[in-house]
Amino acid sequence: RGMGAHRFDHCLLMCEMNPETGVNTVADNVNFFTNVLDFHLVEQVLVGPGGAIQAAAFLACTDKPHDIAFVGAPTSGLHHVSFFLDSWHDVLKAADVMAKKKVEIDVAPTRHGITRGETIYFFDPSGNRNEVFAG
């Protein structure tokens, strides 16, 4: 009947980043989450000369691929919240449910480059981006 989401999986927050002015709230958030909340860094994207700028970071406090991610952007804000599905088959079933219920799809079923998980992005009635994710 529905998509069959089992649980909240993770969220991705956009963090203000401007290398020209030295603003990098990706790094600030990584520092906060690792030193205050005891998350651990799972993966990161480093850019610039010698990889000096932390442009994205994926952190966890569980055994999931990541619980929260931070990605540099012109402004800070919510990118998406993600809900867990069991398999690629369930992601494809979710796409069928979305089509039947006329849910606006942002990114059709695909595989993530970083975590290699299977995914589909869509918008809820409030306009927030959501994801169902397996992997």
User: Cα–chain-centroid distance for residue 30?
Assistant: 15
Active site residues: 10, 66, 80, 112, 121, 131
Map residue 118 onto helix, strand or coil.
Answer: strand
- In whole angstroms, give the CA distance from residue 1 to residue 111: 24
- Which of 7, 30, 22, 10 shows the shortest CA–CA distance to 78? 10
- In whole angstroms, give the CA distance from residue 58 to residue 82: 14
- Which of 95, 90, 66 shows the shortest CA–CA distance to 8? 66
